[in-house]
Amino acid sequence: MKQDLLTAIANEHATVAVFAAVLDEEQRALVAGSLEPLPALTERKAQLVAELAEHGRCRDRQLNEMGFGAGRAGGEAAAAGDAEIGQAWAELLTLAAAAKRNNDLNGSLIRTRLNYTQRALAALNLGTGEPLYGPDGRQQAMLGGGSVTA
């Protein structure tokens, strides 16, 4: 049973490591202003989140079979009673905390970029009171005249 729990924690750790690498790639793209890779990265993150959920359920099953509760409390209890489990658990929590910080930072970068884009669009729309650009990014027909770029 102990080995099954260690395997479950190792699998979860490996997936968190891949998730963290994807977050790093996403962060590099956001900082560089390269938005093209973001949809594929978002899809990959969603897949990894599903894998992480399954790994968490597997870990919780192992914890329950060993007589510990599920979740963080069960992991802490198992870690307290065994040095090998304790080390694996601590490494998982450390990596997960780092991934969470990167995910939070990426969210902040996305919000900043979105805010900037919204302010830029608002500035473009100030003069006419009508939107210059539609949701598709194309210039809208202007009332009372044509486009100055046509």
Hey, what domains does the chain have and what are their CATH numbers? 2-106 (1.20.58.300)
Q: What is the pTM of this model?
A: 0.78
Mean pLDDT, the chain, rounded, equals 88
**Which pLDDT score, from 0 to 100, does residue 113 have?**
84
Using an 8 Å Cβ cutoff, are 69 and 63 in contact?
yes
Q: What is the pLDDT of residues 37-73, one digit of tens each?
A: 999 999 999 999 999 999 999 999 999 999 999 999 9
Kindly report the backbone phi and psi dihedral angles of residue 137, in degrees, each rounded to the nearest multiple of 5, phi listed first.
85, 0
Q: Tell how many helices (H) and how many strands (E) occur in the chain.
A: 4, 0
**Which pLDDT score, from 0 to 100, does residue 6 have?**
97
CA distance 129 to 60: 57
Q: What is the pLDDT of residues 94-146, one digit of tens each?
A: 999 999 999 999 999 999 888 877 887 777 767 666 666 666 767 665 555 55
Burial-class residue 41 by CB neighbours within 10 Å (0-12, 13-18, 19+): middle
Q: Which residues of 121-131 are buried (b: 16+ CB within 10 A; e: fewer)?
A: eeeeeeeeeee
Using an 8 Å Cβ cutoff, are 15 and 92 in contact?
no
**Which pLDDT score, from 0 to 100, does residue 120 have?**
78
